[in-house]
């Protein structure tokens, strides 16, 4: 598959008959919807949520789609912008390691807003999301490591294309109009990793969702765009540090299996790149309770790319802590619950005990370690070394994953709201898109 053949491949996916969608992928999408609604409600009271709600409210417009934590409806693009931003506020949403991005926060807001506009069902939201998410994974893999390492935030860049496909599917665009929409969003897809640790990171997700609605809406109205803007000679792929001839890696890919099925859900409220380290360290401490008080140093081996993302040595805010291997390791040693978003306080950055513990943690890049994995070694004062490997892609059966996500939901939004959301997602056949959106407007307290 050449770079030029990527566009017809993605168009085939965008127009795929729903009977061809793998069941395991659809089941995973339902779990991601539940998780996305949980983190959206949990983030609805964050400072950035108030700012973005107030911002989109000042623009007014036709009352179409709900905004998380708000009381009014706004145009679909405005709602997608707000909901994408709010749902990524806690950085507690799912990640796909095949392209290093967060699919749900960029695509569900666009799918939900478009489905409300079209008076669709919750099942319509799931179906549109899944096709958009799969496209995001495949486009992201074609863009590859060079794109990410150059500084682009794949959640927003690849995600904008997925959001466009989700919205286009709900707007019932034909193949030609979807091609136009992809051409249009090629000029809008953007997002930088330099925003990490600030409100700019969740804004990247909101912008991706809004860009998807905008591009699909304009194509629906007959707006035109270059058909080469996506993957042609001077396209998004070529201009944004995509790997040369990167489409070769997906040669022979079919739609029998969806990459999205291997999405990983967060169980700690920090950058997903740190989670393998956290799990490995927790296992070490569980097996040897004395390690937390008696060690000389800790060595954390990670894929080198993560050192440019979550290796902040001296965080100055609670947000920056979420991107600091050394500080997060220190918090685990102190017994601080990293699953609780209240744990990430600005004041911890000046905690002398945590700083001292963090100074004992050394982060080492190892190109033999997968992006989803980590190896942690604790050295005692007598030079005894104990190591633990952990890979986030180790399969988890659906029942166990469901239980962990429900436990996470209970911790974030309380048992009553968690049970209510689970019941809602468990009966999607009887639920409308507006029912989902209305639930996001309700407080979880």
Give per-residue pLDDT as tens, 397-437. 888 899 989 989 998 999 999 999 999 999 999 999 999 99
Task: Classify 240 as helix, strand or coil.
Answer: coil
Cα 157 from chain centroid? 12
Taking the C-alpha atoms of residue 148 and residue 191, their distance in angstroms, rounded to an integer, is 10
Answer yes or no: do 238 and 124 share one domain: yes
pLDDT per residue over 263-283, tens digit each?
A: 999 998 888 889 999 999 999
Taking the C-alpha atoms of residue 319 and residue 349, their distance in angstroms, rounded to an integer, is 10
Would 249 be classed as within a structural domain?
A: yes
> Which has the higher per-residue pLDDT, 334 or 381?
334
User: Can you spell out the DSSP letters for 401-434?
Assistant: HHHHHHHHHHHHH-HHHHHHHHHHHHTGGG-BHH
Per-residue DSSP letter, 46: S
- Quick check: 363 and 310 in contact, CB under 8 A? no
Contacts of 430 (CB under 8 A, 6+ apart): none
Would 370 be classed as within a structural domain?
A: yes
Would 430 be classed as within a structural domain?
A: yes
pLDDT per residue over 270-318, tens digit each?
A: 888 899 999 999 999 888 766 666 788 999 999 998 998 899 999 999 9
Q: What CATH number did the domain enclosing 405 receive?
A: 1.10.4100.10
Would 432 be classed as within a structural domain?
A: yes
For the chain, how are helix, strand and coil distributed in percent, rounded to 5?
60, 10, 35
Answer yes or no: do 212 and 339 share one domain: no
Answer yes or no: do 209 and 188 share one domain: yes
pLDDT per residue over 210-233, tens digit each?
A: 999 999 999 999 999 998 899 888
Total domain count for the chain? Answer: 2
Listed range (116-120, 185-189, 270-274) with the worst mean pLDDT: 270-274
Answer yes or no: do 231 and 294 share one domain: no
Residue ending a domain, choose from 391, 411, 427: 391
Answer yes or no: do 379 and 336 share one domain: yes
Residue 301 phi/psi, 5-degree rounding, is -100, 130
Residue 74: the pLDDT is 96
Answer yes or no: do 383 and 405 share one domain: no
Answer yes or no: do 251 and 338 share one domain: no
Would 353 be classed as within a structural domain?
A: yes
Answer yes or no: do 366 and 410 share one domain: no
pLDDT per residue over 4-59, tens digit each?
A: 678 999 999 999 999 999 999 999 999 999 999 999 999 999 999 999 999 999 98
Answer yes or no: do 137 and 192 share one domain: yes
pTM over cut 0.95: no
Domain range holding 361? 272-391
Residue 1 has pLDDT above 50, yes or no: no
Residue 246: the pLDDT is 62
Residue ending a domain, choose from 356, 374, 391: 391
Answer yes or no: do 256 and 285 share one domain: no
Answer yes or no: do 177 and 325 share one domain: no
Q: Could you tell me the CA-to-CA distances from 215 to 124, 189, 222 in Å, in that order?
A: 19, 10, 11
Residue 173 has pLDDT above 90, yes or no: yes
Residue 253: the pLDDT is 81
**Residue for token pair 């904008």:** 160
Total Cβ atoms within 10 A of residue 232:
17
Answer yes or no: do 10 and 100 share one domain: yes
Query: Are β-strands 373-379 and 361-365 bridged in parallel, bridged antiparallel, or unpaired?
Result: unpaired
pLDDT per residue over 317-356, tens digit each?
A: 998 999 999 999 999 999 998 888 789 999 999 999 999 9
Would 349 be classed as within a structural domain?
A: yes
Q: What CATH number did the domain enclosing 278 receive?
A: 3.30.1330.120
Q: What percent of the chain has pLDDT over 90?
A: 75
**Residue for token pair 């001077």:** 234
Would 445 be classed as within a structural domain?
A: no
Among 250, 212, 240, smallest CA distance to 5 is for: 250
Residue 66 phi/psi, 5-degree rounding, is -80, 150
């Amino acid at each position: 598959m050449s770079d030029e053949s990527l566009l017809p491949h993605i168009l085939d996916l965008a127009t795929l008959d729903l009977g061809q969608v793998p069941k395991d992928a659809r089941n995973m999408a339902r779990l991601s919807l539940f998780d996305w609604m949980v983190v959206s409600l949990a983030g609805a009271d964050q400072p950035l949520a108030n700012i973005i709600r107030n911002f989109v409210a000042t623009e007014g417009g036709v009352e179409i789609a709900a905004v998380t934590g708000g009381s009014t409806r706004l145009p679909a693009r405005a709602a997608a912008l707000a909901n994408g931003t709010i749902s990524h506020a806690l950085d507690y949403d799912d990640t796909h390691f095949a392209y290093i991005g967060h699919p749900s926060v960029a695509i569900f807001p666009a799918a939900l807003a478009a489905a409300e506009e079209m008076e669709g069902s919750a099942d319509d939201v799931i179906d549109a999301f899944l096709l958009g998410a799969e496209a995001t994974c495949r486009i992201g893999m074609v863009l590859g490591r060079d794109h990410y390492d150059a500084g682009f935030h794949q959640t927003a860049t690849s995600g904008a294309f997925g959001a466009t496909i989700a919205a286009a599917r709900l707007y019932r665009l034909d193949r030609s109009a979807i091609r136009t929409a992809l051409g249009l969003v090629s000029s809008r897809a953007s997002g930088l990793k330099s925003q990490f640790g600030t409100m700019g990171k969740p804004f990247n997700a909101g912008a991706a969702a809004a860009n998807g609605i905008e591009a699909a809406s304009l194509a629906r109205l007959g707006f035109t765009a270059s058909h080469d803007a996506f993957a042609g000679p001077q396209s998004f792929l070529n201009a944004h540090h995509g790997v040369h001839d990167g489409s070769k890696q997906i040669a022979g890919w079919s739609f029998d299996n969806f990459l999205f099925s291997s999405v990983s859900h967060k169980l700690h409220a920090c950058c997903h790149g740190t989670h393998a380290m956290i799990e490995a360290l927790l296992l070490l401490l569980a097996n040897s309770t004395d390690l937390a008080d008696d060690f000389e140093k800790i060595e954390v081996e990670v894929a080198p790319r993560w050192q440019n993302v979550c290796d902040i040595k001296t965080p100055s805010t609670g947000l920056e802590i979420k991107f600091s291997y050394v500080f997060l390791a220190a918090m685990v040693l102190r017994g601080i619950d990293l699953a609780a978003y209240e744990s990430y306080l600005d004041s911890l950055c000046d905690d002398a005990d945590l700083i001292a513990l963090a100074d004992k943690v050394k982060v080492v890049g190892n190109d033999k370690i997968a992006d989803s994995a980590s190896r942690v070694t604790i050295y005692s004062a007598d030079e005894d070394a104990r190591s633990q490997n952990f890979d986030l892609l180790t399969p988890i059966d659906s029942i166990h994953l469901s239980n962990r996500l429900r436990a996470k939901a209970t911790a974030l939004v309380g048992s009553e709201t968690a049970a209510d959301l689970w019941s809602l997602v468990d009966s999607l056949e009887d639920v409308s898109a507006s029912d989902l959106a209305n639930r996001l407007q309700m407080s979880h307290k």
